[in-house]
């Protein structure tokens, strides 16, 4: 009787462990998908930022002024407007 109880407990533990593993894989896949979407958004917004910086620089706004208003370095501003 004790052997049957022990086997049943082992089987339950295996099933619970397998379910937990499957759930964690689902969470992993969903989080990776969300990170991919976030990376795409960051890229899009960086492109918009860079276009705005180039436009402002081209109409005479100084690299120092752009750096001060964006928290980017002047070196980074110069890289963007190149």
Quote the tokens at residue 66: 């752009």
Residue located via tokens 């910086």: 53
* Cα of 79 vs its chain's centroid, Å: 24
**Residues of the chain with confidence (pLDDT) below 70:** none
**Cα end-to-end span (Å), the chain:** 80
Confidence (pLDDT) at 81: 97
Quote the tokens at residue 34: 């969300």
Pick from 65, 44, 47: nearest CA to 56: 65
Confidence (pLDDT) at 1: 73
Quote the tokens at residue 39: 């990376």
The pTM of this model reads 0.69
Instruction: Return the DSSP state at 1.
Output: -
């Amino acid at each position: 009787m004790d052997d049957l109880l022990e086997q049943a407990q082992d089987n339950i533990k295996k099933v619970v462990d397998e379910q937990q593993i499957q759930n964690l894989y689902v969470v992993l896949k969903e989080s990776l998908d969300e990170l991919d979407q976030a990376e795409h958004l960051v890229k899009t917004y960086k492109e918009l930022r860079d276009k705005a910086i180039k436009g402002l620089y081209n109409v005479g706004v100084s690299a120092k002024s752009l750096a001060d208003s964006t928290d980017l370095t002047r070196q980074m501003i110069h890289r963007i407007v190149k």
